[in-house]
């Protein structure tokens, strides 16, 4: 899985692509560090290329959300695939994340 961090329209965006399974968790966390460091700012995650996510990945997202909330930032998740959206739904994440 790949993480690219870009500034898009003044929002620090993490572009996730590939499979965010347990094996990739560490790499993902590493890649999203800039976002974690700027949790007070508005943040975005673009999941267009995200093929797969498991609970480990969900935990990372949750962790980012919590950091963002704690530092009065914001987090938007964009372009979720149907399958991933479904997972969010099942787990109730769709209620706690701002999704576009």
Partner 1 sequence: MKNLNKQLNNLALVMSVFVIGVVALMFCYTGYKTVRVAYKTAIDELMEDSETTLESSIKTISTRLELVERITTNTANFSDVVTPDDENSGYILLERLTSATPDIMFACLMFKENFYPSKGSQYCPSIVYDSVTNTKKHVDFVEYGFGYLGMDINWLVNEKGKPVWSPPYRIQYKKYDGMFIGYSVPIYDSNNEFMASLCAVVNLGWLREILDDIKPHSESNMFLLDGNGNYIFRSDTTFYSVDNIFEKDADTAWLSIYDNMTRGKRGMSQTKQPPLYVFYAPLGSTNWSVALVYPKGIVDEVPNQMVYEMLAVIICTILVLLMVLYFGIFLIIKPFSIKLQAATEKSASVERDLEIASKLQKGMLPKDFHIEPENNGFKIYGILQPARMVGGDLYDYFVLNGNLFFCIGDVSGKGVSASLFMSMVRTMFRDITQYETSPELVVDKINQGLATGNSHNMFCTMFVAVLDLSTGKMRYCNAGHNAPIIGHRKSDGCFVEYMRTETNVAVGVLEGFEYVKEETTLNDGDFIFLYTDGVTEAENIEKQLFGESRTLKSIERNCNKDAQGVVEALFGEISGYAENAEQSDDITMLFVRYERPKRVLDLTNDVSQTPLLAEWVDGVCKDFGLPESRLFNVQLVLEEVVVNVMKYAYPGQEGKPVTVTASRTDNGIKFVIEDNGIAFNPLEMKEPDIGMAAEERPIGGLGFYIVRQLVDEVAYQRNKGKNILTMTIEFDK
Q: Does 98 bind partner 1 (CB under 8 A)?
A: no
Verify binding: residue 35, partner 1, rule CB under 8 A: no
Contacting residue, 65, 73, 77, 80, with partner 1 by CB under 8 A: 65
Using CB under 8 A as the binding rule, whether residue 69 contacts partner 1 is answered as: yes
DSSP sequence for the chain: -EEEEEEETTEEEEEEEEEE-GGGHHHHHHHTHHHHHTTTSEEEEEEEEEEEE-HHHHHHHHHHHHHHHHTT-EEEEE---HHHHHHHHHHTHHHHSEE-
Identify the residue among 37, 55, 71, 100 touching partner 1 (CB under 8 A): 55
62 binds partner 1, rule: CB under 8 A: yes
């Amino acid at each position: 899985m790949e993480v690219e961090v870009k500034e898009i329209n003044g929002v620090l965006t993490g572009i996730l692509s590939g499979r965010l399974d347990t094996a990739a968790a560490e790499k993902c966390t590493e890649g999203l560090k800039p976002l974690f460091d700027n949790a007070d700012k508005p943040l975005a995650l673009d999941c267009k290329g995200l093929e797969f996510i498991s609970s480990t990945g969900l935990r990372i997202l949750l962790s980012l959300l919590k950091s963002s909330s704690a530092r009065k930032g914001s987090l938007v998740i964009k372009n979720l695939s149907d399958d991933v959206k479904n997972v969010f739904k099942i787990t109730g994440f769709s209620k706690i994340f701002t999704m576009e």
